[in-house]
Structure formats: C-alpha cells, structure tokens
Amino acid sequence: MAISDEQIAMMSDLFDGLGHITSRKMMGGLMLYCDAQVFALLDSGGTVFLKAKHDFAQSMSDAGARQFSSVNKDGKTNSMGYWTLPEAALDDPEQACDWARRALEQLR
C-alpha cells in the first residue's frame, strides 16, 4: 500500500511543533526529517516509528514500544533502530513531539 497525501499531512500535523518537517517516500514508506535530520518513519501499514538507540531505545521499550523488524525470504529476522511511537502519543501532538524531541536529541 502506497503512502497517501493524507498520511503525509497527518504526519506533518502530528510533528508540527518540532520545527521544519519534511518527508520523502522510500521503499513503500515515508521518512520524516526535522531540519534535515531523519528522526522517524511511517511504514506502509501506517505505523509510526521513531529512530532510537541506547538509553532512548530502552525508554521506548519501557513505554511499550516495539522495535521495527522484518523477515527475509530466507526466514531470518532483521531489526532496525526504529521503535513504534507509544500509542498514547498517536493522538496527542504535544506528546508525539516530546518523544520526537528525545529522538532528535539522542541523534545529535
């Protein structure tokens, strides 16, 4: 399923409080950037993931987030440094931006 203009607008609205948000469609999903720094992705199923590593990844896990993973043709599971945005933040732009700010801080 391709990313729609409506989904792009929804992500821009959700993260509007961060600053200058841009996006780029990639491999069936959408990469989200704040001031040219990638911080999140939207997969083709509509799930929002934030880039996370180290202590921030653990904080996301503690909040109930799950790590992005996919299964190869050979059955091996690959995971990436992206974690789902906690569910409560999906309908709360202020909370979503708080999580996204933390994601951006740990990337700098």
pLDDT tens digit string along 42-101?
A: 998 899 999 999 999 999 999 999 999 888 889 898 888 999 999 989 999 999 999 999
Tokens of 88: 């409560």
Instruction: Give residues with Cβ within 8 angstroms of 18, minimum separation 6.
Output: 34, 97, 100, 101, 104
Overall pTM surpassing 0.75 (yes/no) = yes
pLDDT band (50, 70, 90) for residue 23: very high
Cβ proximity of 7 and 30 under 8 Å: yes
CA 69 – CA 80 distance, rounded (Å): 6
Ranges assigned E (strand) in the chain: 21-26, 29-34, 37-42, 48-51, 67-71, 77-84
Q: What is the CATH number of the domain that holds 52?
A: 3.30.1460.30
Residue 77 lies in domain = 5-107
- Candidates 56, 50, 54, 44; CA nearest to 90 is 50
Q: Specify the number of domains making up the chain.
A: 1
